[in-house]
Amino acid sequence: MIDCHFHPRPTLEANLAHLNGSGCQAAYLLARLTAADDMKRFMAQEPTRFAGYSVSTGVSAPDAVKLLTEAVKSGAHGFGEVKYHVEADGPEMRRLYAAAAELDVPVTIHFQEVPHTATEGVFNTGFKRFDTILKEFPKTTFVGHCDAFWANISADYATDKDYPRTPIVRGGITDKWLSDYPNLFADLSANSGNNALTRDPSFTADFLKRHKDKLLFGSDCSCKDGHGAGISQGGNPGAARLAGKCVARETLTVLKANTTPELFRRLVWENGHRVYKLKMATA
Ligand SMILES: [Zn+2]
Ligand SMILES: [Zn+2]
């Protein structure tokens, strides 16, 4: 398995502890721009465990696109995860989408419209209008993630809850857009992805099959050891369902239960390598 939503820990050992504990062969690292050199070092030290990395920096800074472009030219595989207090179809993000198309690298986006805490705010808002962007930037590869992305898998979603647990009303925009737009992909990470795969068991297997080339396994897990130690859902009361658990393990279990071995391999290994254009290492 390759964990395609892996936020780097400060040391090589801490990164390997989560990978080994959760049973993953490799990680795709989502790093801050300032940590790009560390990502290169991890890849050089453990080339079969760290397959590549994305970088992210404040999108409202005037030189954001210039800095991210330079980072891609010196080895980053994408932009992400992009998580800032802007509209997903605003000017800051549009220039990022244009640059990603030019460089031919994916953009991983955190869509969140319901704050988890009193001070957190919201990120990349206006998801219900995002089909306009998918049409306007056909050459940009978008990887969607987080609460608003996954809650909109149900057609009745009213941007009112972080993690709805009710049965899925078929025909939600996320499901529909994954079918309609070849440039939209999804990472299955975090409580949001796990929630979408578990809230309505009658939905899951067919959804995974329907989008077999569009979905990538990822965890976004912050536990220490790949078994839920430390604080795995800190500061996010809505995600208490997974507190004390490793999101990677939980989501891999759901995926395994709802796929054939061939489909499982696509979701947890092949798709991530293809979308982020990574070299497939053999263990
Ligand atoms: Zn995120
Ligand atoms: Zn974990």
136 has a pLDDT exceeding 70: yes
What pLDDT, on the 0 to 100 scale, is given for residue 235? 72
> What is the DSSP secondary structure assignment for residue 119, as one 8-state letter?
T
Task: Report the pLDDT averaged over residues 4-20.
Answer: 98
Average model confidence (pLDDT) across the chain: 96
Q: Of the bound ligands, which one is closest to the alpha carbon of residue 124?
A: 1
Task: Report the pLDDT averaged over residues 140-156.
Answer: 98
Tell me, which fold does domain 2-275 have in CATH?
A: TIM Barrel (3.20.20)
* Segments making up each domain of the chain, as ranges: 2-275
Task: Report the pLDDT averaged over residues 238-243.
Answer: 90
Task: Report the pLDDT averaged over residues 22-39.
Answer: 98
Q: pLDDT per residue over 50-73, tens digit each?
A: 999 999 999 999 999 999 999 999
What pLDDT, on the 0 to 100 scale, is given for residue 282? 64
Q: How far is the CA of 102 from the centre of ligand 1 (A)?
A: 24
pTM above 0.85, yes or no: yes
Model confidence band, residue 280 (pLDDT cutoffs 50, 70, 90) = confident
Q: How far is the CA of 146 from the centre of ligand 2 (A)?
A: 17
Model confidence band, residue 148 (pLDDT cutoffs 50, 70, 90) = very high
Q: pLDDT per residue over 85-106, tens digit each?
A: 999 999 999 999 999 999 999 9
Question: Are 273 and 280 in contact, with CB atoms under 8 Å apart?
Answer: yes
Q: How far is the CA of 158 from the centre of ligand 2 (A)?
A: 30
What pLDDT, on the 0 to 100 scale, is given for residue 137? 98
Q: pLDDT per residue over 109-118, tens digit each?
A: 999 999 999 9
Q: How far is the CA of 145 from the centre of ligand 1 (A)?
A: 6
Question: Are 76 and 38 in contact, with CB atoms under 8 Å apart?
Answer: no
Q: 224 Cβ partners below 8 Å, 6+ apart? A: 14, 17, 18, 230
283 has a pLDDT exceeding 60: no
Structure tokens at 112: 């969140």
Q: Of the bound ligands, which one is closest to the alpha carbon of residue 15?
A: 2
Q: pLDDT per residue over 169-225, tens digit each?
A: 999 999 999 999 999 999 999 999 999 999 999 999 999 999 999 999 999 999 999
What strands lie across the sheet with 107-110, from one edge to the other? 2-6, 26-32, 50-56, 78-82, 107-110, 142-145, 184-187, 215-216
Q: Of the bound ligands, which one is closest to the alpha carbon of residue 19?
A: 2
For 25, counting Cβ atoms within 10 Å of its Cβ (0-12 exposed, 13-18 middle, 19+ buried), the class is middle
What pLDDT, on the 0 to 100 scale, is given for residue 142? 98
What pLDDT, on the 0 to 100 scale, is given for residue 216? 98
Task: Report the pLDDT averaged over residues 1-23.
Answer: 98
